[in-house]
Amino acid sequence: MDGLYKIGAVSKITGINIPTLRVWENKFKIVEPSRINGTQRGYTKNDLDKLCIVKALIETGDSISTLSGLDISALESRLEENLNQKSNYVPSETKNNITAIVVGTMVPNLDNPIQDLPSIRIVKRFELSDFSEDEGIIEDNADILIFETPTLHVKTVTWVKNIMTQSSFSKSIILYRFGSADGVKAVNREENINILRQPANSNDIQMMCAFAINGQIKQKEVVSKKSNKKKVVVDIPDFEPFSDKELWEISVMANPIHCECPKHLSSIITSLRGFEKYSADCEELSAKDRILHEELEKHSVEARIIMEKALRKVINENSINYSVANAS
């Protein structure tokens, strides 16, 4: 039919991906395209104009659910009002209460505020499986999105950006365990997305939320409590452990071989060290739980040593130089 645009062309013109266009049509009735030959969507020039205005409104802070049912005149008026408000915007003082929406399973509760940092209230939690990699609309409002994912790639960043755009989040934090160099670079290009590598505890996440929302956090001296608990020691002959500095250098080095095994092994070892510390720090428990955590600490040490031996073998057999001079 003449004068109609197919969905692929609309996506390229407006910058809205195809899955989002379908959700906006089916769930929110933003536009109702006709059908070409009874199957393909056909969009008019008026539909394109409306979609561009809706996209602009979402970028200025509206949620898609609030725009459902509005005609193009109402949308234009709303956009003009939003832009006027933005031009007269005066930054508010530091937020002392931050609301968050969490996507993920292992994000800890954040209901124990840290002195000199804002309190964080989790409004709602979702499972990662609730979303596909193309779609993700969250109708609830919050100051920040906390998004937990096992891996960080460029497509992960795109996914989170789409959720932010469709759901009107201004800031987000991605918690990840394994990440590609390109994924980290993609995040660095996004001023509204921050990343935090797992394992991260509630204090780490609260500090990152404060940084993301307020731009800075107050530094304070942290006094560590000395523990009388003996450190678990496993005697392994001919074992040469990696230092924290070496593990960091391996995690940031340019790939010297065809796979990323050294980086992944480094991350696993770092995670195991974190779990060792977690198990060792569990002192305010019952006598029975302390015994259990001492056993967990011992097993995690044994597992770490196995992984460190594997990493040492990969490095030696491939003659890898992981000096920071080779960082990616």
Q: Is 28's pLDDT higher than 60? A: yes
Average pLDDT over residues 53-57: 86
Q: What is the architecture, at CATH level 2, of domain 7-87? A: Orthogonal Bundle (1.10)
- For the record, the structure tokens of 169 come out as 């989040």
- CA-based angle 177:105:135, to the nearest 5? 85
CATH classification (class only), 97-214: alpha beta
The position carrying tokens 């003449």 is 2
Q: What is the mean pLDDT of the chain?
A: 78
| Residue 97 amino acid letter | N
pTM exceeding 0.85: no
- For the record, the structure tokens of 315 come out as 């490095």
Cα–Cα distance, 26 to 10 (Å, whole number): 16
Structure confidence by residue, pLDDT tens digits, 86-99: 555 454 556 778 89
Residue 237 confidence (pLDDT): 57
- Report the chain's terminal Cα–Cα distance, integer Å: 52
